[in-house]
Structure formats: C-alpha cells, structure tokens
Structure 1
Amino acid sequence: MNELILPIDKPVGWTSFDVVAKLRGGLKWKKVGHAGTLDPAATGLLIILCGDATTRADEFMELGKTYRAVAKLGVVTDSDDLDGEVIAEHDVQWNERLIESELRSFVGEIAQRPPAVSAIRIGGKRSYKLARAGRAVELPERPVHVHSLDIVEMNKPFVTFEMRCSKGTYVRSIARDLGERLGCGGTLAALRRTAVGPIEVRDAWTLSAALAIPEFRGNRS
C-alpha cells in the first residue's frame, strides 16, 4: 500500500501535529500529514494523509467544513476562545430572538477578521507567536462564506450552533463577532468538526482503533 487517507476523530487536548506524530510512529509511514488544522481544544474530524496521499492535501483543504460550536457570551479573551486570557467580562442582556437574528446575519459571504492567535503569517512569522510575545496583532479582514448556520440550543450564557462554511472560516471569530454585535462580548467555549466535504466524523477512527488495524500499516514510504 502506497497511500492511506485516514479520517481521525481528534481528541481534546491534542494538537494536529500530535496526531500526525502518533500515527507516523505507530503505523510506520514515513510521510504523514493532515488536511486542515484543528486547535488543541477542538475535537472532531481530522483528515490524515499517509504516503503518496500527502500530495492531495490541497484537494481536501479546499473542501467546505461543518462544525458544532458553543459560544459563551459576556466574556472576551485575547485568543477568542477559553484557552486565552480573559480581558473583559460583561453582563448579558439575554434576548433569544435577537441572538438568533444576529447569528443568522453571518450566513452568506462575509468579511471576517481572523483571531490574533492563529497560524496566519505576518511578515513570515505566525501571528500567534507575535501575539504571545506581546506584539499588537490586528489581522485584516478577508472574505469567507458561511453556507448555513443553525441554532441547536440556547442556555444563558451559552449558544450552541451548527455551521457549514468555506475553508479559512474561523468559528472563533463568529463567536467573538456575535458578542460584539450584542454588545456584551463573546468567545468560543467548545468546537467539534463534524464533516469535511462529504466525509463525516461518524465514519472516523479513534486514534487507538486506527493504530490497532494491521491493514493501515505502511511500508515506510
């Protein structure tokens, strides 16, 4: 076998590189990569590419993504998620009709400002490295497309929603911008990627299960 495309359900606390390293060593492939980073705090579908399949990374990264997310209103953090430092807290005037209206306003093509703590390069350096070094980072807005956004549950101060979007869309930015529009601030409390194009997380392998399948082992290619 010269290639393997392996959908993995990434556990919380693991970086995407952690998953790649674990599978590279456990399955004995020389070339292993992934097709789209997930933050350590996020869970869900991570497409792992082994052997000759690593040349197809761009093909998978172009596909749309689907997420289930939880936004926490009334809290502002420097990373736009709960992994960051809290820089402000505000009272939340809870109005479910207004929350739903503001969330739905993100559907379509929008101009989105990525989080300062992200992997985007500024002058050759990752923006998260600059932000963590104390540098002021203000990334320019860029166009992204939100195909659909549906509320699953609202339980003050949390809003759970499902979103299908184009590549390059930051769900952290959606949570932040929702809070800004409501005047109380917001941040991302939880994130799970449920699909990449037609590939769904329900068809993914856990790390332990994938490592136990002899047919997934490579030939060090």
Structure 2
Amino acid sequence: MTQVRRVKRPVDGVLLLDKPYDISSNGALQKARWLFQAAKGGHTGVLDPLATGLLPICFGEATKFSSYLLDADKAYRATVCFGRTTTTGDIEGEVVRERPVVFNREALLAAMQTLLGEIEQVPPMYSALKHQGRALYEYAREGVEIERAARRVTIHSLTLLSFDGNEAVIDVVCSKGTYVRTLAEDLGEKLAAGAHLTGLRRTATAGFRLDDAVTLESLEALDLPGRDALLLPPDVLVQHLPAISLDERQTQHFCHGQAVRIDEKCETMSRFRVYQWQTRKFLGLAEALDGAMLQPVRLMAS
C-alpha cells in the first residue's frame, strides 16, 4: 500500500510547549513539528528527559533568532530528595550511597544561602555535554569517567516552598548552563546527607512562563488553524532589544542587505529590532554603525 507523503508547510512562529516526562527535547520538537506540518523547526535549549515544563519551539523564520533564548536566564521547580546519592543525580540512576537526614529547615535554608550568586559547578557525567564528538552520558554508560572543568554559573535565587524532613521543593532562578541536578547534589553535600532530584520542571525562560504553554495532548486535539493560533510572532524572541522603524525607501535598501542612514543617533554596535513604519512588519535585526547607519545582521525572508 502506497503511503501518502505528508505535505510540509512554511510555518513561522514560536510555540510555548509544556514538555512531558520521559521524552527528549528533540522528540518533543519532532512531535510538535509533525503536528504543525512545519518545514523547519528547532528548540531553544535541551531539557533532560526527566525534566518537564517550558520548552519554547521555533518554526521557520523564528529559528533565526532562537540563540537569544539559549543565553537567557531560566527558572525551575526542583524536588530534591535528601539521604541518597545516585549515579545520575536523579531518580533514574542507581543508589550509590545512603546517609541519615538529621538537619532541620533552618539548616537547609542556611545551606541554600551559601549557593547563591556566582558559583563553580562541575558538569555531571550524565549530561549532553560533548567530549571528542560524543555526549558525556555515552561515556558514563560505558563506565568511563571524563575529567570536566568547572564552569562559573549564577544562582540568582533559591526559594524553599516545602520541606517534610526528607524531601524539599525549591524554586531556582539561574543563569544558562546551570545543572540543577548538580546544584541538588552540592546542596546535599553541604548538609552531609547527599541528595538527588526526583522531579524537575522548567517554569520560565526569557520572560516566557509555563502558565502560557500548551501540552502535546492539547495540540493533538486541535485542527491546523487552531494550532496556528497558538503561535507567537518571531520578533517575540527579541523584545528585549530597542525598536527602530524605517520608511518605504529605507525598507527596500535594508531588505536587500544594504546599510541605511537614520535620523537618530545610536551608540555604535548597538543592536535593534527593525520594522517597516507603515505596516509594522518585522524586518529583522540591525547593528548601528558610526552612530547613524543601520547595518542588517539578520533578515526575515521577504
């Protein structure tokens, strides 16, 4: 029986997806891309299969600006179990050590305070970080330990939501590159009890919130127009940049990759969102040259 080829569409926009448990970020991306019949798509930073929550997905022209989300701060809700350390730092690993949990809430809060600000963090072996072209978790599964250099990350805030004497729920706001599993393990060591993650949910990134995300099940229940209505425009990824509008003549030159002169003075090397003045159509990104010229650096397709 001949299989009907699925037609792919030129879809442009950003989908805020609530990634489910036990599926990779790429798996969630491919499922969403299939549902939208999108010709092109990419995610904006990997979540572990264990982790759930906010995973912004970019389709079409939005992929040109996805790097701005990779560099953004992140927020997570972590469930930390004390008294056990595992090979992976989470519930999927084997228990390697057990210790009694003898600290109280006040000691936990004090230990959390010591992890705030800039800290050094060694990436876990069970991570997607590459070494000689292979992910570290591939070496870990073979029993091979690779030496990893410590990285400097920033923990902006740690908020204790609950603690029952054994398990804590903590809200974490951190910089890119932070491994919350490692943070939980470090917290456990400071309390001489050890710890591992039993749950991790991303709640925010780059101004986007989990409250506004949609599940794959909800997407499946919609038709294509309903799914398309959930997409945010590509320029939502660069809202932190100042905006400049161009007239029709400037727009023509700009869209052909030519620098255009503007009336206002801008600091050299500053980056801007650029729009067509009358239609408010998003044209792309530009960099200021010599204070009064705008050089295109990333253009939307015409």
Q: Same fold by TM-score, threshold 0.5 exceeded? A: yes
SS at match of 2:67: helix
Determine the structure 1 residue equivalent to 2:33.
24
Determine the structure 2 residue equivalent to 1:97.
106
Q: Displacement of 1:2 after TM fit?
A: 4.4
Within 5 Å, which residues of 2 pair with 1:137-156? 137-156=146-165
Question: Structure 2: which amino acid aligns with 1:30?
Answer: A
Unaligned runs of 5+ in 2: 1-9, 232-302
Taking the aligned partners of 1:41 and 1:119, their CA distance within structure 2 comes to 13
SS at match of 2:161: strand
Taking the aligned partners of 2:182 and 2:116, their CA distance within structure 1 comes to 14
SS at match of 1:175: helix
Taking the aligned partners of 1:213 and 1:112, their CA distance within structure 2 comes to 45
Determine the structure 1 residue equivalent to 2:257.
none
Give TM-score scaled by structure 1 length.
0.94
Determine the structure 1 residue equivalent to 2:269.
none
SS at match of 1:174: helix
Determine the structure 1 residue equivalent to 2:81.
72
Question: Structure 1: which amino acid aligns with 2:85?
Answer: V
Greater C-alpha Rg: 2
Q: Displacement of 1:154 after TM fit?
A: 0.5
Within 5 Å, which residues of 2 pair with 1:58-137? 58-137=67-146
Determine the structure 1 residue equivalent to 2:197.
188
Match of 2:16 among 7, 17, 21: 7
Determine the structure 1 residue equivalent to 2:48.
39
Question: Structure 2: which amino acid aligns with 1:46?
Answer: L
Q: Displacement of 1:91 after TM fit?
A: 1.1
Confirm or deny: 8 A CA contact 2:35 2:219 kept in the other structure.
no
Q: Displacement of 1:197 after TM fit?
A: 1.7
Percent identity (aligned): 37
The yes-or-no answer on 1:176 pairing with 2:199 is: no
Confirm or deny: 8 A CA contact 1:116 1:138 kept in the other structure.
no
Question: Structure 2: which amino acid aligns with 1:214?
Answer: L
Taking the aligned partners of 1:193 and 1:30, their CA distance within structure 2 comes to 27
Determine the structure 2 residue equivalent to 1:199.
208
Q: Displacement of 1:123 after TM fit?
A: 2.0
Higher-RCO chain (CA-CA 8 Å, sequence separation at least 6): 1
Taking the aligned partners of 1:44 and 1:90, their CA distance within structure 2 comes to 31
Taking the aligned partners of 1:157 and 1:113, their CA distance within structure 2 comes to 25
The yes-or-no answer on 1:163 pairing with 2:183 is: no
SS at match of 2:33: helix
> How many residues get paired?
219
Q: Displacement of 1:210 after TM fit?
A: 2.8
Determine the structure 1 residue equivalent to 2:60.
51
Question: Structure 2: which amino acid aligns with 1:5?
Answer: V
Q: Displacement of 1:148 after TM fit?
A: 0.9
Q: Displacement of 1:124 after TM fit?
A: 2.0
Q: Displacement of 1:157 after TM fit?
A: 1.1
Confirm or deny: 8 A CA contact 2:90 2:196 kept in the other structure.
yes
Q: Displacement of 1:156 after TM fit?
A: 2.1
Q: How far does the alpha carbon of each residue in 1:72-124 deviate from its partner, in whole angstroms, 9 at most, with x for none?
A: 11111111111111111111113221111111211101111111100111122
Determine the structure 2 residue equivalent to 1:214.
224
